[in-house]
Structures are given as structure tokens and as C-alpha cells.
Structure 1
Amino acid sequence: MAGLQIPFKVTEGYLGPQSKFEAYGLEMLAHPDPIIDMAGPTTEIIMKTLPGTRVTTKMLSTALKKECNEYHLIRRQGDNFLFLLAPPHPGFYKFQIYALPKGEAGPSMQGVFNYIVHCPNPENDIPFPKQYPQFKDGGYLTEPLKIPKGNRDPEVKFNVSVPNSSDVQVKVNNDWNPLEQTSPGTWEGLVDLSKNYPPGAKVKLNCKFGGHNYNTLLEYTI
């Protein structure tokens, strides 16, 4: 983006699409420019993929020189991946996207697109939930995007889409809260956090795809 001065050296070839981007059939539907100067506290990058493509990401603070992956959320709609970024502090961040197409040997994903993101006005430092691999492969979280620590709301609304799921429940410590399936793969419900849960209690979105076992897809800390 013209006019934005990056206050550090960027390695030649780092920005934008990498060698496997076109070969993997990827396309940026939002933010094709690899330099993003955020106008508000959040921004969303959208990448189109071929069916069955697996994706993961990494966000790094250049000032703190550390990863801050809990401040971006991966969601999937069909063959599109949506990356919602909400940096915790003002400054510059590197956002790196990795992918692996269906049928290609792994386990390592390949770097396919790199961004430099400038966030002048962050909203807060509340993290998104921890995302487990099965959620990244196909889940879409509508709410709650974040749960602040100390939240003891008696009615926290959950709305999540998980393809091919047979049951979804929210576990708070040892309490299980079933969600209702409102359409195929979409689950909604209210969860009571007002009980006497200790600080640091875990709120886990657990999903069953068949059989008797539940897999954790998302995890909040309250």
C-alpha cells in the first residue's frame, strides 16, 4: 500500500504469493495487496482454495518478536478460508498463510502467502479461542468470537457451524451444555457461565462426528 512506511527490512520475495500459491489453485478474494494498513481494530482476509485444501496460519508481532496466534481466527465457508485479525497492540505484524492440497503428502504445510499488517488502533487484547486442527479444517464460529476473562454471564450465546457433526456440546469445567442443531451442521444455544467457576476455567466446544467420542474444536479461558 502506497504511503505506508515499514520500519524494518523485509526480505526480498517475502511479501505476497509464494512459489506454491498458484500451483495449489489459491486466490485472494479480499486483500490481494500483501501490505495492509488497518482502518479499524479488525480486518478479514479471504482466500479461495480448491476442495479439500488444508490451511494453517501464523501471526507474529514484529515489536515483541513473538507469535500472537490467539489474536486471529480461522473460519471456513465452503472452499473459502476467512482469517479475522484483531491485533492486541498498535504496531506491525507478520501474517503468514500455509496450505497443503488434498492428496499431497505432508505433514508439513507450505508457505503460500505472506502479509505485513499495520494496526494503529487496536480495540482490546482479548484473545480469540484456541483453535484445534479439526475446527480449522471446516468450522465457522459466529458467536461468541471472544469471551473476556472474568465473564460470568448467565446467557452466553453460541452459534457455530461444523460440517458432518452429529452432536455439539459446550463443556465448562465438568458441566456439559448441549447445543441445538438449527440446520444441518449448524448448532446454537445459551450457556450459563454464572456458576461458581474458578478463575482460569476452560470453556470447550466439543463435537462428535460419529461413534461415542467428542473432539475439542475450540477452547476459551474465563
Structure 2
Amino acid sequence: MAEGNVQIPKLTEGYLGAQAKFEAYGLTLVSHSDPVIYMQEDQREVEIILGIQAGTRVTVKLISYERKKECNEYCLIRALGLNYLFLIRPPLAGFYKFQIYALPRDEAGPQLLGVYNYLIYCPGNFGDNPFPKQYPLWKDGCYLEEPIDLPRGIRDPSVKFKVFIPKARDVQVKVGEVWNPLQQTEPGWFEGFVDFSTDYSPGSAAKVNVKFAGNNYSTLLEYPL
């Protein structure tokens, strides 16, 4: 299995593709049916779409094969209805193992099980441009429309945010110590403009904080600044 002069590395037998619980959990491949994906020379990102059954929890791992290192910050997990979309942006050339884990909510056990494994080949280096950190609650059916990333040291006074967060009562973007409310425009959708010209300190973060019930906020996304 090779494209041009690119030969895939040796992997454990049975590693690629659907694993034991893939069909039992009612999962489907919406975008990429071949578990080996070759990105084009000028292709910075690839988006893999997985169909799920309602009530299925999902998480992933992105691992650099050559460097034997997890790099999950280069995968953005988003959900639209019964589809999970995984936007992958490898930072360096080489092969990446992309492992999808799932578990129905009514099945016992905290550990999600491996359900599908891809191997992605990235031919170029596109720089260190990670996505925001995604906390566990984010992976429960949320969608980020914009911004999918922020440049370090940003000082833009008007950055558009638009997110879908089911069951959220209030959504605020905290920049340093300043809270910026987003407005609910339709059920689950929150949007607004956030000021990054404030005097936040080096090493700060922009956090998407959400109130579901009570008075406490939970952090769902975190952008390094």
C-alpha cells in the first residue's frame, strides 16, 4: 500500500481500519473509507467524518509515528447532529496514527474503546499552529464555527466567536481576567465579538466558559495566547 514513492510503515496486524466494536456501536464512515490517507503537497488539513448513534461518547488520539509522540492539540473535534468531524492539521511531515475511541452512554465502564484506526501521511511542514485545547464536556456534541485557532500575542479588538453548545445557559469568553459574554442567537448557538486588545499577561489563555446549571462555569475550550 503506497502512493508514489511513499511506503507506509509496518504496523501491528489488524491495527488499521475498523476494530471489534465498530459495527456493534452503529458507527459509519462518512468521509474516508480507506484507513490510509495521503494528504496532497499543498494540503494543510484533512477532515475525517464519522457517523454515530445518538448518545455515543467519542474521543481521539493523534500520534506522530516517527516521533512516537501524542499531538492531540492538532485535532479539532466537532459534532453536527449524528456526525463527528475531526479536523486534523499535522505540524510536521511524516506519518500520523489517528485513533478513534467510542462508547455508548448506556454501556458500563469509564474507558472508551478503540473503534477505528487511520494512518495519515503529511508530506510537508506547515508550522506550529494548534487548535484550542478541548475539555471532556466539549466532546459531548459541541461545534466550533469560529475561530478555530488564534495567533499567539493577538491584540485584535474584535474577534468573532460562534459556537454550538447544547443545553448551555450562558457562554462567556474569558481573556486573561476579562469576561466577554456571547449572545444566544438560536437554541444552542452563541456568538459575539471578543476584545483581545486588553492588557492580558504573557502566558494567558482565552477560555470558553459555559454555565449549564447552577452558578458554576465549566471550561470547554482553551486558546493559548
Quick check: TM above 0.5?
yes
Report the counterpart of residue 215 of structure 1 in structure 2.
218
Q: 1:145 to 1:122 in 2, by over 3 A?
A: farther
The separation in 1 between residues aligned to 2:44 and 2:125, in whole angstroms, is 4
Report the counterpart of residue 3 of structure 2 in structure 1.
3
Q: Partner amino acid for 2:16?
A: L
Matched, 1:125 2:125: no
The runs of 5 or more residues in structure 1 that have no matched partner are none
Per the TM alignment, residue 6 of structure 1 is displaced from its structure 2 partner at its CA by 3.3
Report the counterpart of residue 91 of structure 2 in structure 1.
88
The separation in 1 between residues aligned to 2:29 and 2:206, in whole angstroms, is 33
The separation in 2 between residues aligned to 1:90 and 1:155, in whole angstroms, is 34
Q: Partner amino acid for 1:174?
A: E
Q: 1:122 to 1:137 in 2, by over 3 A?
A: farther
The runs of 5 or more residues in structure 2 that have no matched partner are none
1:200 to 191, 199, 203: 203
TM-score computed with the length of structure 1 as normaliser: 0.97
Aligned pairs for 1:1-222 (under 5 A) are 3=3, 5-39=6-40, 40-222=43-225
Asked if the contact 1:58–1:69 (Cα under 8 Å) also holds between the matched residues in 2, the reply is: yes
4+ runs of 1 displaced by more than 3 Å?
Answer: 4-7
The separation in 1 between residues aligned to 2:8 and 2:104, in whole angstroms, is 35
Aligned alpha-carbon RMSD (Å)? 1.2
Q: Partner amino acid for 1:9?
A: K
The separation in 2 between residues aligned to 1:157 and 1:122, in whole angstroms, is 28
